[in-house]
């Protein structure tokens, strides 16, 4: 039963049977130790399972070949065309619209407090973290109106950082 065989034995058998050349039609290059071969199913696994094949039929040596990883990825679950090549997939380019203009009043909601709405653009505050307008340097933290980063994450209790350093926790 081939499904119980280690991968290395399957690769060794396929190298002996097919040689060390990639079986993808447009490649034909020799397998390299830097780019080790991958096991390819000539009839793709997904299609075989959909057609009712057993695992032994899917993993039968007649259904296996070796390919470079990039070639195997390119092949995907396609079946070869009558001329032996595989269909070429062309990706549709992503359609993106222009970026919206940033509101200078709220700076794209960055300058809004929680629950505020910008008077110019009408956007609501969406920040979950402390807004930039509340952040100050630790040495300037007075813990009344402003919050330093240490206070925000709970490293320093709500007293001055200098007092905390001198007096201890």
Residue 91 in domain = no
For 86, counting Cβ atoms within 10 Å of its Cβ (0-12 exposed, 13-18 middle, 19+ buried), the class is middle
Which of 111, 28, 41, 104 has its CA nearest to residue 72?
A: 41
Among 29, 57, 75, the domain boundary falls at 75
Which carries the bigger pLDDT value, residue 77 or residue 154? 77
Instruction: Say whether pTM exceeds 0.85.
Output: no
Q: What is the pLDDT averaged over residues 44-55?
A: 91
Q: For position 153, what pLDDT does the model report?
A: 54
pLDDT tens per residue, range 133-158 = 666 665 666 655 555 655 555 544 45
Q: For position 4, what pLDDT does the model report?
A: 76
Residue 82 in domain = no
Number of domains in the chain: 2
Q: For position 93, what pLDDT does the model report?
A: 85
Which of 109, 110, 133, 139 has its CA nearest to residue 121?
A: 109
pLDDT at 64 over 90: yes
For 59-98, where are the alpha helices, taking DSSP H only? 69-75
pLDDT tens per residue, range 83-123 = 878 887 777 888 888 877 888 888 777 777 777 888 888 88
CA distance 30 to 68: 9
Among 50, 75, 100, the domain boundary falls at 75
What range defines the domain where residue 13 resides? 2-75
Among 60, 75, 90, the domain boundary falls at 75
> Binning pLDDT at 50, 70 and 90, where does residue 34 land?
confident
Residue 106 in domain = no
Q: What is the pLDDT averaged over residues 56-69?
A: 91
Residue 81 in domain = no
Residue 89 in domain = no
Residue 56: helix, strand or coil by DSSP? helix
Residue 149 in domain = yes
Residue 140 in domain = yes
CB 71 within 8 A of CB 27: yes
CB 42 within 8 A of CB 63: yes
Residue 90 in domain = no
Q: For position 146, what pLDDT does the model report?
A: 52
Q: For position 119, what pLDDT does the model report?
A: 87
CA-atom Rg of the chain in angstroms? 31
Q: For position 49, what pLDDT does the model report?
A: 92
The highest-confidence range among 1-5, 23-27, 140-144, 160-164, by mean pLDDT, is 23-27
Same domain, 71 and 136: no
């Amino acid at each position: 039963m081939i499904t119980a065989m280690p991968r290395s034995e399957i690769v060794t058998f396929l190298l002996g049977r097919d040689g060390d050349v990639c079986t993808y039609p447009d490649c034909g290059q020799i397998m390299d130790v830097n780019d080790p071969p991958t096991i390819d199913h000539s009839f793709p696994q997904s299609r075989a399972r959909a057609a009712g094949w057993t695992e032994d039929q899917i993993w039968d040596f007649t259904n296996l070949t070796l390919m470079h990883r990039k070639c195997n990825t390119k092949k995907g679950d396609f079946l070869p065309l009558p001329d032996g090549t595989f269909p070429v997939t062309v990706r549709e380019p992503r359609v993106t619209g222009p970026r919206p203009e940033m509101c200078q009043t709220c700076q794209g909601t960055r300058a809004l407090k929680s629950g505020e709405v910008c008077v110019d653009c009408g956007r609501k505050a969406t920040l979950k973290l402390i807004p930039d307008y509340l952040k100050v340097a630790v040495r300037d933290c007075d813990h009344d109106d402003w919050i330093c980063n240490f206070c925000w994450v709970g490293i320093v209790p709500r007293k001055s950082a200098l007092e905390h350093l001198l007096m201890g926790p």
